[in-house]
Amino acid sequence: MTPPAPDLTELGGMLYVEGFQPLPDVADNGEFIGTRLWRVRHGYVEYLAIRTNGLGHAVRADAQFSYHEPAAHGAIRAHMFGAATSALAWLLRTADQQPEDEGHPQ
């Protein structure tokens, strides 16, 4: 079952207020598959990959940023997959927790 489409105005506003920066997300074959939004916080990087079907994958990983490879990062500390709005809500709700203290939700 496909999740309902997120309210894009609300989602975009939340991402902007929280300081996320956009990057296009492209498959190895060059096909556009969505958008990856990221921000750096306290030694780690958070990103939300939003697919064209409304699904999202939120990740908190060790910061290991390079302007030559902006989508690269270190070890993943926590992640959540689901509807884009749910993934963003999880990322924001857990933002003040230390990455090493978090579990890995399914």
Dihedral, CA of residue 39, residue 60, residue 91 and residue 101, to nearest 10:
-130
Pick from 34, 32, 36, 19: which is nearest to 73 by CA? 36
Q: pLDDT tens digits for 55-94?
A: 999 999 888 767 677 667 788 889 999 998 888 889 888 8
Assess whether pLDDT exceeds 60 at residue 6. Answer: no
Give the contacts of 3 (CB within 8 A, at least 6 positions apart).
54, 55, 82, 83
Assess whether pLDDT exceeds 90 at residue 29. Answer: yes
Q: Quick one: DSSP state of residue 106?
A: -
**Long-range CB contact pairs, 28-36, < 8 A, 24+:** 36/71
Chain-wide mean pLDDT for the chain?
A: 79
What does pTM read for this prediction? Answer: 0.69
